[in-house]
Protein backbone atom coordinates (compact mmCIF):
# COMPACT_ATOMS: atom_id res chain seq x y z
CA UNK A 1 0.00 0.00 0.00
CA UNK A 2 1.05 3.58 -0.56
CA UNK A 3 0.04 6.34 1.86
CA UNK A 4 0.61 10.03 1.12
CA UNK A 5 0.86 12.70 3.81
CA UNK A 6 0.63 16.47 3.48
CA UNK A 7 3.76 17.40 5.45
CA UNK A 8 4.09 21.04 4.36
CA UNK A 9 4.27 22.12 8.03
CA UNK A 10 7.67 20.50 8.65
CA UNK A 11 10.50 23.02 8.83
CA UNK A 12 8.20 26.04 8.85
CA UNK A 13 7.88 26.66 12.60
CA UNK A 14 4.19 25.78 12.57
CA UNK A 15 4.48 24.51 16.16
CA UNK A 16 1.85 21.89 17.06
CA UNK A 17 0.95 20.94 13.48
CA UNK A 18 4.63 20.56 12.63
CA UNK A 19 5.41 18.47 15.71
CA UNK A 20 2.45 16.21 14.97
CA UNK A 21 3.21 15.40 11.33
CA UNK A 22 6.98 15.12 11.86
CA UNK A 23 6.56 12.75 14.81
CA UNK A 24 3.87 10.70 13.07
CA UNK A 25 5.95 10.24 9.91
CA UNK A 26 9.00 9.27 11.93
CA UNK A 27 7.05 6.56 13.74
CA UNK A 28 5.20 5.38 10.62
CA UNK A 29 8.54 4.85 8.89
CA UNK A 30 9.49 2.23 11.49
CA UNK A 31 6.09 0.49 11.62
CA UNK A 32 4.82 0.53 8.04
CA UNK A 33 7.48 -1.82 6.70
CA UNK A 34 5.23 -3.19 3.95
CA UNK A 35 3.89 0.23 2.96
CA UNK A 36 5.33 3.13 1.01
CA UNK A 37 5.05 6.52 2.74
CA UNK A 38 5.15 9.63 0.56
CA UNK A 39 5.46 13.03 2.25
CA UNK A 40 4.61 16.23 0.41
CA UNK A 41 6.94 18.88 1.88
CA UNK A 42 7.50 22.59 1.35
CA UNK A 43 10.74 23.40 3.20
CA UNK A 44 14.32 22.25 2.69
CA UNK A 45 14.56 21.52 6.43
CA UNK A 46 11.97 18.77 6.02
CA UNK A 47 14.37 16.69 3.97
CA UNK A 48 16.76 16.25 6.91
CA UNK A 49 13.95 15.96 9.47
CA UNK A 50 12.39 12.85 7.93
CA UNK A 51 13.73 9.28 7.83
CA UNK A 52 15.22 8.01 4.59
CA UNK A 53 12.39 5.47 4.36
CA UNK A 54 9.92 8.31 3.75
CA UNK A 55 9.87 9.43 0.11
CA UNK A 56 9.52 13.19 -0.22
CA UNK A 57 8.03 15.31 -2.97
CA UNK A 58 7.93 19.11 -3.06
CA UNK A 59 4.76 21.19 -2.95
CA UNK A 60 4.30 24.94 -2.60
CA UNK A 61 4.22 26.59 0.82
CA UNK A 62 1.49 28.92 -0.45
CA UNK A 63 -1.79 27.31 0.71
CA UNK A 64 -3.82 28.55 -2.27
CA UNK A 65 -1.45 26.94 -4.75
CA UNK A 66 -0.88 23.80 -2.65
CA UNK A 67 -4.52 23.10 -1.82
CA UNK A 68 -5.96 24.45 -5.05
CA UNK A 69 -3.77 22.51 -7.44
CA UNK A 70 -0.54 20.85 -6.38
CA UNK A 71 -1.67 18.26 -3.84
CA UNK A 72 -4.41 17.02 -6.16
CA UNK A 73 -1.97 16.86 -9.06
CA UNK A 74 0.54 14.91 -6.97
CA UNK A 75 -2.19 12.50 -5.89
CA UNK A 76 -3.16 11.94 -9.53
CA UNK A 77 0.49 11.21 -10.37
CA UNK A 78 1.39 9.06 -7.34
CA UNK A 79 -1.96 7.27 -6.96
CA UNK A 80 -1.66 6.63 -3.21
CA UNK A 81 -4.31 4.58 -1.45
CA UNK A 82 -5.16 7.69 0.57
CA UNK A 83 -4.00 11.19 1.43
CA UNK A 84 -3.61 12.27 5.06
CA UNK A 85 -4.00 15.99 5.85
CA UNK A 86 -4.43 18.23 8.85
CA UNK A 87 -7.69 20.21 8.92
CA UNK A 88 -7.97 20.95 5.19
CA UNK A 89 -8.00 18.67 2.15
CA UNK A 90 -7.11 19.86 -1.37
CA UNK A 91 -9.80 20.65 -3.88
CA UNK A 92 -10.66 17.79 -6.20
CA UNK A 93 -8.60 15.14 -4.43
CA UNK A 94 -8.79 11.89 -6.48
CA UNK A 95 -8.11 9.52 -3.54
CA UNK A 96 -9.73 8.94 -0.12
CA UNK A 97 -8.84 11.50 2.53
CA UNK A 98 -8.01 10.93 6.20
CA UNK A 99 -7.97 14.22 8.11
CA UNK A 100 -6.57 15.05 11.53
CA UNK A 101 -8.68 17.70 13.27
CA UNK A 102 -6.90 18.46 16.53
CA UNK A 103 -9.67 20.66 17.88
CA UNK A 104 -12.65 22.76 16.80
CA UNK A 105 -11.79 25.92 18.71
CA UNK A 106 -12.45 27.90 15.50
CA UNK A 107 -16.11 26.88 15.87
CA UNK A 108 -16.52 26.89 19.64
CA UNK A 109 -14.37 29.98 20.30
CA UNK A 110 -13.92 31.98 17.06
CA UNK A 111 -12.88 34.96 19.20
CA UNK A 112 -9.48 33.30 19.61
CA UNK A 113 -8.75 33.86 15.89
CA UNK A 114 -8.56 36.77 13.47
CA UNK A 115 -12.01 36.90 11.90
CA UNK A 116 -10.85 35.94 8.40
CA UNK A 117 -8.91 32.94 9.74
CA UNK A 118 -11.88 31.68 11.76
CA UNK A 119 -14.21 31.95 8.76
CA UNK A 120 -11.70 30.21 6.50
CA UNK A 121 -11.31 27.29 8.92
CA UNK A 122 -15.05 27.01 9.44
CA UNK A 123 -15.60 26.64 5.71
CA UNK A 124 -12.62 24.49 4.69
CA UNK A 125 -12.76 22.09 7.64
CA UNK A 126 -16.49 21.50 7.20
CA UNK A 127 -15.87 20.69 3.53
CA UNK A 128 -12.99 18.36 4.44
CA UNK A 129 -14.80 16.61 7.29
CA UNK A 130 -17.79 16.01 5.05
CA UNK A 131 -15.79 14.20 2.39
CA UNK A 132 -13.19 12.48 4.63
CA UNK A 133 -13.17 8.70 4.98
CA UNK A 134 -11.98 9.02 8.58
CA UNK A 135 -11.33 11.86 11.01
CA UNK A 136 -8.51 11.49 13.55
CA UNK A 137 -8.22 13.53 16.74
CA UNK A 138 -6.11 13.32 19.87
CA UNK A 139 -8.59 12.94 22.74
CA UNK A 140 -12.08 11.79 23.60
CA UNK A 141 -12.84 15.43 24.45
CA UNK A 142 -12.01 16.49 20.90
CA UNK A 143 -13.86 13.53 19.42
CA UNK A 144 -17.02 14.54 21.29
CA UNK A 145 -16.52 18.16 20.23
CA UNK A 146 -16.21 17.19 16.56
CA UNK A 147 -19.32 14.99 16.69
CA UNK A 148 -21.24 17.79 18.39
CA UNK A 149 -20.05 20.43 15.92
CA UNK A 150 -20.77 18.32 12.82
CA UNK A 151 -23.97 16.62 13.88
CA UNK A 152 -24.51 14.59 10.72
CA UNK A 153 -21.32 12.50 11.11
CA UNK A 154 -21.33 8.77 11.67
CA UNK A 155 -19.75 8.24 15.12
CA UNK A 156 -17.48 5.49 13.78
CA UNK A 157 -15.98 7.94 11.34
CA UNK A 158 -14.24 9.92 14.14
CA UNK A 159 -11.38 8.11 15.86
CA UNK A 160 -9.47 9.26 18.95
CA UNK A 161 -5.75 8.56 18.49
CA UNK A 162 -3.68 10.09 21.33
CA UNK A 163 -0.53 12.05 20.57
CA UNK A 164 2.69 11.79 22.59
CA UNK A 165 5.80 13.67 23.61
CA UNK A 166 8.75 13.04 21.30
CA UNK A 167 11.35 10.67 22.71
CA UNK A 168 13.86 13.55 22.73
CA UNK A 169 12.00 15.00 25.71
CA UNK A 170 13.47 13.23 28.73
CA UNK A 171 15.09 14.06 32.06
CA UNK A 172 18.65 15.36 31.82
CA UNK A 173 20.92 16.86 34.47
CA UNK A 174 19.13 19.88 35.96
CA UNK A 175 22.45 21.54 36.73
CA UNK A 176 23.68 21.08 33.17
CA UNK A 177 20.35 22.28 31.76
CA UNK A 178 20.42 25.37 34.00
CA UNK A 179 23.96 26.15 32.84
CA UNK A 180 22.92 25.79 29.20
CA UNK A 181 19.93 28.08 29.72
CA UNK A 182 22.09 30.70 31.45
CA UNK A 183 24.55 30.63 28.56
CA UNK A 184 22.01 30.35 25.75
CA UNK A 185 19.35 32.75 27.02
CA UNK A 186 21.14 34.77 29.72
CA UNK A 187 18.54 33.97 32.34
CA UNK A 188 19.32 32.65 35.83
CA UNK A 189 17.35 29.99 37.65
CA UNK A 190 14.90 29.61 39.25
CA UNK A 191 12.17 30.28 36.70
CA UNK A 192 8.65 29.21 35.82
CA UNK A 193 8.11 28.11 32.23
CA UNK A 194 5.12 28.28 29.91
CA UNK A 195 5.17 27.18 26.26
CA UNK A 196 2.74 28.20 23.52
CA UNK A 197 2.24 30.67 20.69
CA UNK A 198 1.26 34.12 21.93
CA UNK A 199 -2.45 33.95 21.14
CA UNK A 200 -5.68 34.54 23.08
CA UNK A 201 -6.55 30.95 23.97
CA UNK A 202 -3.14 30.29 25.52
CA UNK A 203 -3.98 32.83 28.25
CA UNK A 204 -0.51 34.26 28.74
CA UNK A 205 -2.14 37.50 29.92
CA UNK A 206 -3.86 35.64 32.75
CA UNK A 207 -0.58 33.98 33.67
CA UNK A 208 1.23 37.34 33.74
CA UNK A 209 -1.41 38.72 36.11
CA UNK A 210 -1.05 35.66 38.34
CA UNK A 211 2.74 35.91 38.31
CA UNK A 212 2.63 39.57 39.33
CA UNK A 213 0.32 38.68 42.22
CA UNK A 214 2.61 35.78 43.19
CA UNK A 215 5.65 38.09 43.33
CA UNK A 216 3.80 40.53 45.57
CA UNK A 217 2.55 37.75 47.87
CA UNK A 218 5.95 36.04 48.17
CA UNK A 219 8.63 38.74 47.79
CA UNK A 220 11.28 36.31 49.09
CA UNK A 221 11.02 34.22 45.91
CA UNK A 222 13.39 35.16 43.09
CA UNK A 223 11.66 33.35 40.25
CA UNK A 224 11.41 34.72 36.74
CA UNK A 225 8.66 33.85 34.26
CA UNK A 226 9.75 32.53 30.86
CA UNK A 227 7.27 32.49 27.98
CA UNK A 228 8.45 30.43 25.00
CA UNK A 229 6.27 30.67 21.93
CA UNK A 230 5.96 32.17 18.48
CA UNK A 231 4.91 35.79 18.08
CA UNK A 232 1.49 36.15 16.44
CA UNK A 233 -1.02 38.86 15.61
CA UNK A 234 -1.95 38.91 19.33
CA UNK A 235 1.60 39.17 20.67
CA UNK A 236 1.61 42.92 21.30
CA UNK A 237 -1.31 42.52 23.72
CA UNK A 238 0.73 40.02 25.72
CA UNK A 239 3.82 42.23 25.72
CA UNK A 240 1.69 45.16 26.85
CA UNK A 241 0.35 43.11 29.76
CA UNK A 242 3.93 42.30 30.77
CA UNK A 243 4.97 45.96 30.59
CA UNK A 244 1.99 46.98 32.76
CA UNK A 245 2.42 44.16 35.28
CA UNK A 246 4.86 45.89 37.62
CA UNK A 247 7.25 42.93 37.29
CA UNK A 248 8.26 43.34 33.66
CA UNK A 249 11.95 42.93 34.52
CA UNK A 250 11.21 39.37 35.65
CA UNK A 251 9.24 38.29 32.55
CA UNK A 252 11.16 37.00 29.54
CA UNK A 253 9.89 36.25 26.04
CA UNK A 254 11.95 33.76 24.05
CA UNK A 255 9.83 33.52 20.88
CA UNK A 256 9.89 30.28 18.90
CA UNK A 257 12.51 27.87 20.26
CA UNK A 258 13.80 24.63 18.82
CA UNK A 259 13.12 21.24 20.40
CA UNK A 260 16.75 21.13 21.52
CA UNK A 261 16.34 24.40 23.41
CA UNK A 262 12.96 23.31 24.76
CA UNK A 263 14.55 20.19 26.23
CA UNK A 264 16.93 22.38 28.21
CA UNK A 265 14.22 24.83 29.26
CA UNK A 266 11.90 22.08 30.47
CA UNK A 267 14.65 20.46 32.51
CA UNK A 268 15.92 23.73 33.95
CA UNK A 269 12.59 25.22 35.02
CA UNK A 270 11.31 24.99 38.58
CA UNK A 271 7.87 24.01 37.33
CA UNK A 272 5.76 24.19 34.20
CA UNK A 273 2.60 26.30 33.96
CA UNK A 274 0.02 25.86 31.20
CA UNK A 275 -2.94 28.24 31.65
CA UNK A 276 -4.66 27.64 28.29
CA UNK A 277 -8.40 28.20 28.02
CA UNK A 278 -8.87 25.54 25.34
CA UNK A 279 -6.80 22.60 24.09
CA UNK A 280 -7.66 19.67 21.87
CA UNK A 281 -4.72 17.85 23.45
CA UNK A 282 -2.09 20.08 25.06
CA UNK A 283 1.20 18.51 24.04
CA UNK A 284 3.48 20.83 26.07
CA UNK A 285 2.17 19.39 29.35
CA UNK A 286 3.26 15.90 28.26
CA UNK A 287 6.64 17.22 27.10
CA UNK A 288 7.22 18.85 30.48
CA UNK A 289 6.14 15.70 32.32
CA UNK A 290 8.44 13.58 30.15
CA UNK A 291 11.30 15.83 31.30
CA UNK A 292 10.40 15.20 34.93
CA UNK A 293 8.90 18.57 35.69
CA UNK A 294 5.90 19.18 37.93
CA UNK A 295 2.98 20.67 36.00
CA UNK A 296 0.18 23.05 36.92
CA UNK A 297 -2.42 23.53 34.20
CA UNK A 298 -5.99 24.48 33.37
CA UNK A 299 -8.93 22.28 34.30
CA UNK A 300 -10.64 22.95 30.97
CA UNK A 301 -11.15 21.15 27.63
CA UNK A 302 -8.87 18.13 27.02
CA UNK A 303 -6.24 18.88 29.67
CA UNK A 304 -7.78 16.87 32.57
CA UNK A 305 -8.05 13.87 30.24
CA UNK A 306 -4.42 14.15 29.16
CA UNK A 307 -2.85 14.71 32.60
CA UNK A 308 -5.19 12.25 34.39
CA UNK A 309 -4.33 13.33 37.94
CA UNK A 310 -0.62 13.91 37.29
CA UNK A 311 -0.84 17.72 37.47
CA UNK A 312 -2.29 20.38 39.76
CA UNK A 313 -5.35 21.85 38.04
CA UNK A 314 -6.78 25.36 38.24
CA UNK A 315 -9.55 27.44 36.69
CA UNK A 316 -7.75 29.56 34.04
CA UNK A 317 -10.33 32.31 34.46
CA UNK A 318 -9.53 32.65 38.20
CA UNK A 319 -6.24 34.44 38.90
CA UNK A 320 -6.29 33.43 42.56
CA UNK A 321 -6.47 29.76 41.62
CA UNK A 322 -3.45 30.05 39.32
CA UNK A 323 -1.48 31.74 42.10
CA UNK A 324 -2.53 29.12 44.64
CA UNK A 325 -1.63 26.19 42.36
CA UNK A 326 1.86 27.55 41.72
CA UNK A 327 2.41 28.44 45.35
CA UNK A 328 1.27 25.01 46.55
CA UNK A 329 4.05 23.34 44.58
CA UNK A 330 6.73 25.88 45.44
CA UNK A 331 5.88 25.73 49.15
CA UNK A 332 5.68 21.93 49.38
CA UNK A 333 8.79 20.09 48.10
CA UNK A 334 7.20 16.70 48.82
CA UNK A 335 4.12 17.53 46.74
CA UNK A 336 6.34 18.86 43.96
CA UNK A 337 8.46 15.68 43.95
CA UNK A 338 5.30 13.55 43.92
CA UNK A 339 3.89 15.41 40.92
CA UNK A 340 7.21 15.01 39.11
CA UNK A 341 7.05 11.24 39.63
CA UNK A 342 3.40 11.05 38.57
CA UNK A 343 4.12 13.16 35.51
CA UNK A 344 6.91 10.86 34.34
CA UNK A 345 4.60 7.87 34.78
CA UNK A 346 1.77 9.57 32.89
CA UNK A 347 3.98 10.66 29.99
CA UNK A 348 5.21 7.08 29.64
CA UNK A 349 1.65 5.95 28.82
CA UNK A 350 1.92 7.77 25.48
CA UNK A 351 4.28 7.07 22.60
CA UNK A 352 4.43 7.92 18.92
CA UNK A 353 4.84 4.23 18.18
CA UNK A 354 1.39 3.63 19.69
CA UNK A 355 0.05 6.62 17.79
CA UNK A 356 1.52 5.35 14.53
CA UNK A 357 0.16 1.82 15.08
CA UNK A 358 -3.37 3.11 15.60
CA UNK A 359 -3.08 5.55 12.70
CA UNK A 360 -1.77 2.82 10.42
CA UNK A 361 -4.72 0.63 11.41
CA UNK A 362 -7.09 3.39 10.31
CA UNK A 363 -5.14 3.92 7.07
CA UNK A 364 -5.38 0.22 6.22
CA UNK A 365 -9.12 0.13 6.94
CA UNK A 366 -9.71 3.10 4.65
CA UNK A 367 -7.53 1.64 1.90
CA UNK A 368 -9.24 -1.75 2.08
CA UNK A 369 -12.71 -0.21 1.94
CA UNK A 370 -11.68 1.90 -1.05
CA UNK A 371 -10.31 -1.19 -2.76
CA UNK A 372 -13.55 -3.07 -2.24
CA UNK A 373 -15.49 -0.13 -3.66
CA UNK A 374 -13.25 -0.01 -6.75
CA UNK A 375 -13.62 -3.72 -7.36
CA UNK A 376 -17.41 -3.49 -7.09
CA UNK A 377 -17.46 -0.59 -9.49
CA UNK A 378 -15.33 -2.54 -11.98
CA UNK A 379 -17.69 -5.53 -11.79
CA UNK A 380 -20.70 -3.29 -12.30
CA UNK A 381 -19.15 -1.88 -15.50
CA UNK A 382 -18.60 -5.31 -17.09
The domain spans of the chain are: 2-164+351-381, 174-348
**Superfamily for domain range 174-348:** Glycogen Phosphorylase B; (3.40.50.2000)
* Each residue's pLDDT tens digit, 276-307: 999 999 999 999 999 999 999 999 999 999 99
Q: Are 253 and 242 in contact (CB under 8 A)?
A: yes
| pLDDT tens track for 145-200 | 999 999 989 999 999 999 999 999 999 999 999 999 999 999 888 999 999 999 99
In which order are the strands placed within the sheet that holds 271-274?
251-255, 224-228, 191-195, 271-274, 295-298, 312-314
Neighbours of 187 (CB within 10 A): 16
Q: Do 41 and 11 meet the contact criterion of CB atoms below 8 Å apart?
A: yes
User: Cα–Cα distance between 255 and 121 in angstroms, integer?
Assistant: 25
Asked if residue 333 lies in contact with residue 282, where contact means CB atoms within 8 angstroms, the answer is: no
Eight-state DSSP code of residue 280:
S
Distance CA 1, CA 36 (A): 6
Would you give per-residue pLDDT tens digits along the chain (382 residues)? Answer: 999 999 999 998 877 899 999 999 999 999 878 899 999 999 988 888 899 999 999 999 999 999 999 999 999 999 999 999 999 999 999 999 999 999 999 999 999 999 999 999 999 999 999 999 999 999 999 999 999 999 989 999 999 999 999 999 999 999 999 999 999 999 888 999 999 999 999 999 999 999 999 999 999 999 999 999 999 999 999 999 999 999 999 999 999 999 999 999 999 999 999 999 999 999 999 999 999 999 999 999 999 999 999 999 999 999 999 999 999 999 999 999 999 999 999 999 999 999 999 999 999 999 998 775 555 555 455 5
Please tell us whether the domain made up of 2-164+351-381 is placed in CATH 3.20.20.100.
no
Q: What angle do CA 349, 352, 356 make, to 5 degrees?
A: 120
Amino acid sequence: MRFAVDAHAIGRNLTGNEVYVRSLLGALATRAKDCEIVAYVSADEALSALPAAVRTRRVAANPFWRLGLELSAKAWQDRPDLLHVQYTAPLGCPVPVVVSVHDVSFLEHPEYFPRARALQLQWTVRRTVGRAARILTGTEFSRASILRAYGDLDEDKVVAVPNAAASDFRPVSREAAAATVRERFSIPTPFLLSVGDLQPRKNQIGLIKAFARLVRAYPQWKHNLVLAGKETWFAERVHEAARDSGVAERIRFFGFVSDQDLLQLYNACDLFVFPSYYEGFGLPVLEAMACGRAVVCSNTSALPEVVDGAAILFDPYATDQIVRAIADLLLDPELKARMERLGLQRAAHFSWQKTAAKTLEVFCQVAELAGVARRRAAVALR
